[in-house]
């Protein structure tokens, strides 16, 4: 399965180099050295009571879940204490729902929806059309264009319709922009139904299936790659001009601890200029993918905490009507997709014991501010 890879951030820090002791190696990486020398957040969480994040935020605080996690009482207790919205991490995608014979299964999506209903948690739908997921049942329909389009519509209608009245939003099109930002991606859906047309169609079909639900486009590396952010904004304009009922914008916010200060704020503000609702939809901050100019892992953890705080602060500054939700892509570190890729990463707010990290305290402080 294709996963996002982070490009080195071209968004260099601005302003003068601070007067802290810098090694030659750090000086060579001067723009990025700002992160290393900025006032330090303590990477160890401060002691004291932990406030439920959802009680501090005027907007929903989300996380992603897998159906299997819901059997773990320690996990569900932590989730329920802090989060007011869930996104299925993968079991509401085609990879789970579409069986080889083209029929659909909803047992796990339904279990997550029932969990959310029982706990008074919002359910966010993710993701209907994704270049990375092209089930064989669809590929086989290649030669018969009419039936391909009908199957596409049937899938979107079935999934959105099933959670009508419960889902508070849907990622209709996920990751449409190429990694280098040069163009839109080319894949089964665009080849069979048209580069823009497959997206416009998906938005219309989703809208027909649940006319009241906010419909999102969603993408990643927008804060680290200005060309990708530009292309994403152009795509949103094209979709709106084409009459697609796109009503909200997702900014995944998978970032690395070396992201320059200010990049998250600029990106969130740029996306808010459309006047639509904004979802920070999948935030995590990788330590191991960050560059080598950090002197220690503690510095990386402090930079991680600052980035979480920056994103929360920028999001909280948006007009209230545009604050859809702020979602972190997982609860405890060991459950993160990044940790499954590299066991030494620690991208989330809670450690494996469910203890709050410095990143949690930074989010807590940013929400209180
Ligand atoms: O975290 C998700 C991982 O568990 C799944 O295996 C993978 C494929 O379904 O998707 C991951 O989530 C991705 C999300 O759906 C879209 N943006 C990037 C996320 C991380 O790869």
Q: What is the mean pLDDT of residues 33-53?
A: 55
DSSP 298: H
34 pLDDT above the threshold of 80? no
CA 328/CA 296 separation, integer angstroms: 24
Dist. CA 222 → ligand 1 center (Å): 17
pLDDT > 90? residue 81: yes
Asked if the peptide bond before residue 127 counts as cis, ω within 30 degrees of 0, the response is yes
Ligand 1 atom 9: residue of nearest CA: 90
Per the residue annotation, which of 89, 175, 223, 310 is the catalytic one? 175
Query: Which domains are seen in the chain, by residue range?
Result: 6-28+61-368 (3.20.20.80)
SS3 label, residue 299: helix
In terms of C-beta density within 10 A (0-12 exposed, 13-18 middle, 19 or more buried), how is residue 102 classed?
middle
Reported as type and span, the H/E element at residue 132 is none
Could you give the CA distance from residue 364 to residue 366 in angstroms, rounded to a whole number? 6
pLDDT given for residue 44 in this prediction: 59
What are the distances in angstroms from CA 369 to CA 39, 48, 285, 323? 18, 18, 21, 17
Alpha carbons 129 and 192: distance in angstroms, whole number: 13
Query: Is 299 among the catalytic positions?
Result: no
Catalytic residue among 282, 299, 335, 364: 282
Q: What is the per-residue pLDDT across 214-273, written as a single tens digit (0 to 9) for each?
A: 999 999 999 999 999 999 999 999 999 999 999 999 999 999 999 999 999 999 999 999
d(CA 232, CA 223): 11
175 is catalytic: yes
Q: For the segment 87-128, what is each residue's pLDDT rounded down to a tens digit? A: 999 999 999 999 999 999 999 999 999 999 999 999 999 999
Give the torsion through C-alpha atoms of 185, 2, 348, 336, to 10 deg.
150
Ligand 1 centroid from CA 3, angstroms: 7
| 127 CA closest ligand 1 atom index | 15
Residue 20 has pLDDT above 50, yes or no: no
Looking at residue 60, the DSSP 8-state letter turns out to be -
- Residues having CB within 6 Å of any atom of ligand 1: 1, 3-4, 89-90, 93, 95, 127, 174, 220, 252, 282, 337
Mean pLDDT, range 295-301, rounded to an integer: 93
Given ligand 1 and candidates 1, 2, 3, 177, which is best to mutate, with the most ligand atoms within 8 Å of its CB? 3
Query: For 300-330, what is each residue's pLDDT tens digit?
Result: 999 999 999 999 999 999 999 999 999 999 9
The mean pLDDT value of the chain amounts to 89
Nearest CA to ligand 1 atom 20: 3
DSSP 98: B
């Amino acid at each position: 399965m294709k996963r996002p890879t982070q490009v080195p951030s071209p968004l260099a820090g601005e302003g003068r180099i601070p007067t802290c002791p810098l090694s030659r190696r750090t000086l060579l990486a001067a723009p990025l050295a700002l992160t290393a020398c900025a006032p330090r957040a303590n990477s160890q969480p401060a002691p004291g009571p932990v406030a439920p994040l959802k009680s501090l935020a005027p907007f929903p605080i989300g996380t992603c879940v897998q159906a299997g996690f819901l059997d773990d009482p320690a996990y569900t207790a932590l989730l329920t204490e802090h989060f007011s919205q869930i996104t299925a991490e993968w079991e509401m995608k085609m990879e789970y729902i579409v069986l080889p014979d083209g029929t659909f299964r909803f047992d796990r999506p339904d279990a997550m929806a029932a969990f959310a209903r029982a706990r008074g948690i919002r359910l966010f739908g993710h993701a209907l059309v994704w270049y990375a997921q092209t089930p064989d049942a669809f590929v086989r329909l290649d030669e018969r264009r009419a039936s391909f389009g009908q199957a596409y519509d049937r899938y979107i209608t079935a999934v959105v319709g099933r959670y009508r009245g419960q889902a508070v939003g849907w990622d209709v099109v996920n990751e449409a922009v190429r990694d280098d930002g040069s163009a839109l991606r080319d894949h089964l859906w665009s080849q069979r139904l048209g580069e823009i047309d497959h997206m416009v169609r998906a938005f219309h079909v989703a809208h027909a299936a649940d006319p009241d639900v906010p419909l999102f486009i969603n993408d990643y590396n927008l804060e680290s790659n200005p060309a990708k952010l530009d292309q994403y904004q152009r795509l949103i304009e094209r979709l709106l001009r084409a009459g697609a009922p796109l009503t909200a914008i997702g900014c995944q916010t998978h970032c690395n601890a070396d992201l320059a200060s200010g990049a998250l704020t600029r990106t969130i503000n740029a996306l808010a200029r459309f006047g639509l609702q904004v979802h920070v939809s999948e935030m995590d901050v990788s330590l191991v993918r960050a560059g080598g100019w950090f002197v220690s892992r503690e510095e990386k953890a402090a930079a991680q905490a600052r980035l979480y705080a920056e994103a929360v602060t920028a999001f909280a500054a948006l007009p209230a009507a545009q604050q859809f939700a702020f979602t972190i892509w997982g609860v405890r570190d060991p459950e993160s997709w990044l940790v499954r890729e590299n066991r030494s990463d620690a991208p989330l707010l809670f450690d494996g014991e469910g203890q709050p990290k410095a990143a949690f305290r930074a989010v807590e402080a940013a929400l209180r501010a």
